[in-house]
Amino acid sequence: MIDVRQLKKSFGSLEVLKGINAHIREGEVVVVIGPSGSGKSTFLRCLNLLEDFDEGEIIIDGINLKAKDTNLNKVREEVGMVFQRFNLFPHMTVLNNITLAPMKVRKWPREKAEAKAMELLAKVGLQDKAHAYPDSLSGGQAQRVAIARALAMEPKIMLFDEPTSALDPEMVGEVLSVMKQLANEGMTMVVVTHEMGFAREVGDRVLFMDGGCIVEEGKPEDLFDRPQHERTKAFLSKVL
């Protein structure tokens, strides 16, 4: 579903991604961990070209992102993204946050978009917030709305960049449980997170990044319990 080959990316003279190779299958949940500044966000943002990359290639669902005839907006329609800081649209109600892209991008009629939005709000447990504005939501609620907003486009892949890092501890669970449910339904997911419990329970595979490279990868139980590399061991000893 996602094929990344020799991905390289620099910000000025700082090389942030130094040749990433990754293959993510349909329905797989891949968790990316690693120290701050290791390039996790940059990697994730390259997958929907929020960040342009310098070298290598990314192929999503058979589409080469760098091919000349590729319509990036079309690719982004199939790749949902959830941000650490939610990025809800503050001037719109929760309902309009969710229906905007389906109506403007997918050209759905309002009734269809609203029905879909209500169904998703029910799924994340927030039907009663449909007409609220983002300002009035707690962090956990806002992040669940953001997930519903991304899902409304019916993406094939969902990217999560530290979706619980900006939340108070008591709200982390509600967001993780929505993500868990999504994983159980077979969504292809790439999740950057510091929630090792989630990685172990939900992840099919864990990638450990450090210094712009994938240092080690494997099944959660292998990587967490029997890390092979010194850097992985050092990192895990700090976070576990």
Ligand X SMILES: Nc1ncnc2c1ncn2[C@@H]1O[C@H](COP(=O)(O)OP(=O)(O)OP(=O)(O)O)[C@@H](O)[C@H]1O
Residues that bind other proteins (CB under 8 A): 48, 50, 73-74, 76-77, 79-81, 83, 85, 87-91, 100-101, 104-106, 146, 149-150, 153
- Closer CB to ligand X, residue 114 or residue 216? 216
* 3-class DSSP assignment, residue 131: coil
**Does 41 participate in binding Mg ion (rule CB under 5 A)?**
yes
**Does 102 participate in binding ligand X (rule CB under 6 A)?**
no
CB of 214 to Mg ion, least distance (A): 15
- Closer CB to ligand X, residue 42 or residue 96? 42
Q: Which residues of 93-107 are buried (b: 16+ CB within 10 A; e: fewer)?
A: ebbbbbbbbbbeeee
**Does 190 participate in binding ligand X (rule CB under 6 A)?**
no
CB within 8 A of 114, min separation 6: which ones? 95, 99
Query: Exposed, middle or buried: residue 67 (CB in 10 Å: 0-12, 13-18, 19+)?
Result: exposed
CB of 9 to ligand X, least distance (A): 9
CB of 43 to ligand X, least distance (A): 7
CB of 131 to ligand X, least distance (A): 34
**Does 193 participate in binding Mg ion (rule CB under 5 A)?**
no
Question: Cα separations (Å) of 59 from 21, 23, 53, 55, 75?
Answer: 11, 10, 13, 13, 10
- Residue 189: name its binding partner from other proteins, ligand X, Mg ion, none (Cβ under 5 to 8 Å by kind): none
Nearest to 121 by CA among 139, 97, 92: 97
**Does 82 participate in binding ligand X (rule CB under 6 A)?**
no
CB of 122 to other proteins, least distance (A): 21
What is the rounded distance in angstroms from the CA atom of residue 159 to the CA atom of residue 151?
11
Structure tokens, 212: 């712009």
The answer to whether 155 touches 78, Cβ cutoff 8 Å, is yes
What is the rounded distance in angstroms from the CA atom of residue 228 to the CA atom of residue 66?
34
- Closer CB to other proteins, residue 178 or residue 206? 178
**Does 39 participate in binding ligand X (rule CB under 6 A)?**
yes
Which listed range, 39-47, 65-73, 201-209, 217-225, lies at the site for Mg ion (CB under 5 A)? 39-47
CB of 233 to other proteins, least distance (A): 35
Interacting residues toward ligand X by CB under 6 A: 11, 16, 34, 36-42
